[in-house]
Amino acid sequence: MSEINKSTILIVDDEAFNIVVLSDLLKNDYRIIIAKNGEQALSRASGEVRPDLILLDIMMPGMDGYEVCTALKANPQTKHIPVIFVSAMSDELDEERGLKVGAIDYIRKPVTPAIVRSRVRNHLALKVAQDQLARQNEILEELVAQRTQELATTQDVTILALASLAETRDNETGNHIRRTQYYVKELAEELVAMGHYTEALKPEEIELIYKSAPLHDIGKVGIPDSILLKPGKLEPEEFRIMMTHAELGAKALDYASDSLSSSATSFLRYAKDIAACHHEKWNGQGYPKGLSGDSIPLAARLMALADVYDALISKRVYKPAFSHEKSVSIILEGKGSHFDPVVVDAFQRIEERFKQIAEQYKDEE
């Protein structure tokens, strides 16, 4: 075996005779490095040539073998190096203590050559297998992370494509999708900071709601242009048709969810809730189902406020853009009737952040 391919063994002993005995036994098959005390052992174990196995004496001046092994196992650079105690201490309690501090084996002095060679060979083979398994696990983790990222990217692209489809049909949308997406996220995070809905709004759930928010008006693709693009206020019958966009959006997302694997549809669950229920009102006077209170999905309650605020500050063919202050006043008036009171409380605490988002993503003139 070439020197390059040989495993490296660190022999640690304060007696030169013991170092010579162990070196002579192993030098033909392994590359040997030595240390004559605990401090040297720790330095060489973490040095440029990292040992694959350490044969460690216990009774040494200064740091004894137990202390050295404890220090090796506490260091991330050396904790995976297998340690075999080689000691004249023959009491079972000594061996038990050695195994407790992290050694994998215990050889009593005077050593038997065949036992030393066999134990070293077996533990090195085990280390090679463990290293290979660890590397395979790293590769699998990398692959899982890559696939997870690919799935997240696919979800993001799907959402943006669908949201853009709805946007192209509505000449008043502009940056509405992006603004409401950020409003919803800010509301969710503030609710958690206030101690509300903490179980429903864990970080991963907030992220899914944030990503799903752009699909709230996806059902508008099913509304005739004569109504969707009408340059004026809708007649009652036209408005009735416009109201169906909530159900149309929910049905489309429901169909998409049924067509995909369960692992790919967690984000669609929130998208469907938002599309279906963002026009419901806390007092039950909304549409399409007249849901009230907590029966309205939380994600939709967040979107309800975000959507109304953005409509208020935006210019429409039937109204001018309202000021931030007037829009806030109207939102506060809807507390407990149109909106979840707790969500309004969160909004009131961060209304300046809403103003900043509106300015950052304002529509081009």
Averaged pLDDT, 67-83: 95
Examine the domain organization and report whether 124 and 189 are in the same domain.
no
Kindly state whether residue 159 falls inside one of the protein's structural domains.
Answer: no
Q: Say what the pLDDT of residue 144 is.
A: 83
What CATH number does residue 212 fall under? 1.10.3210.10
Examine the domain organization and report whether 222 and 349 are in the same domain.
yes
Q: How confident is the model at residue 343 (pLDDT cuts 50, 70, 90)?
A: very high
Model pLDDT for residues 144-161, shown as the tens digit of each residue: 888 777 777 766 766 666
Examine the domain organization and report whether 61 and 192 are in the same domain.
no
Averaged pLDDT, 307-315: 94
Examine the domain organization and report whether 308 and 178 are in the same domain.
yes
Examine the domain organization and report whether 121 and 266 are in the same domain.
no
Examine the domain organization and report whether 219 and 132 are in the same domain.
no
Kindly state whether residue 83 falls inside one of the protein's structural domains.
Answer: yes
Q: Say what the pLDDT of residue 198 is.
A: 96
Averaged pLDDT, 27-45: 95
Examine the domain organization and report whether 37 and 185 are in the same domain.
no
Examine the domain organization and report whether 114 and 241 are in the same domain.
no
Model pLDDT for residues 233-248, shown as the tens digit of each residue: 889 999 999 999 999 9
Averaged pLDDT, 299-322: 92
**Pick the residue with more confidence: 275 or 255?**
275
Give the structural domain span for 31. Answer: 8-139
Q: Say what the pLDDT of residue 41 is.
A: 95
Kindly state whether residue 335 falls inside one of the protein's structural domains.
Answer: yes
Structural domain total, the chain: 2
Q: Say what the pLDDT of residue 241 is.
A: 95
Q: Say what the pLDDT of residue 260 is.
A: 61
Kindly state whether residue 151 falls inside one of the protein's structural domains.
Answer: no
Q: Say what the pLDDT of residue 42 is.
A: 96
Q: Say what the pLDDT of residue 154 is.
A: 66
Q: Say what the pLDDT of residue 170 is.
A: 62
Q: How confident is the model at residue 15 (pLDDT cuts 50, 70, 90)?
A: very high
**Over the chain, what is the mean pLDDT?**
89
Examine the domain organization and report whether 214 and 327 are in the same domain.
yes
Kindly state whether residue 241 falls inside one of the protein's structural domains.
Answer: yes
Examine the domain organization and report whether 19 and 124 are in the same domain.
yes
Averaged pLDDT, 181-208: 96
The domain boundary residue, chosen from 139, 155, 190: 139
Q: Say what the pLDDT of residue 139 is.
A: 87
What CATH number does residue 75 fall under? 3.40.50.2300
Q: How confident is the model at residue 322 (pLDDT cuts 50, 70, 90)?
A: very high
Examine the domain organization and report whether 40 and 110 are in the same domain.
yes
106-120, 170-184, 324-338, range with the lowest pLDDT: 170-184
Q: Render the burial of 96-106: b for 16+ CB within 10 Å, e for the rest.
A: ebbeebbbbbb
Q: Say what the pLDDT of residue 235 is.
A: 92
CA 242 to CA 231: how far, in whole Å?
Answer: 14
Examine the domain organization and report whether 109 and 61 are in the same domain.
yes
Kindly state whether residue 2 falls inside one of the protein's structural domains.
Answer: no
Q: How confident is the model at residue 172 (pLDDT cuts 50, 70, 90)?
A: low
Say what the pTM is: 0.61
Q: How confident is the model at residue 255 (pLDDT cuts 50, 70, 90)?
A: confident
Could you give the percent of the chain with pLDDT greater than 70? 90
Kindly state whether residue 73 falls inside one of the protein's structural domains.
Answer: yes
Kindly state whether residue 291 falls inside one of the protein's structural domains.
Answer: yes
Q: Say what the pLDDT of residue 173 is.
A: 55
**Pick the residue with more confidence: 146 or 116?**
116
Q: How confident is the model at residue 287 (pLDDT cuts 50, 70, 90)?
A: very high
CA 348 to CA 344: how far, in whole Å?
Answer: 6
90-94, 117-121, 255-259, 305-309, range with the lowest pLDDT: 255-259
Q: Say what the pLDDT of residue 352 is.
A: 97
Q: Say what the pLDDT of residue 316 is.
A: 80
Averaged pLDDT, 277-284: 97
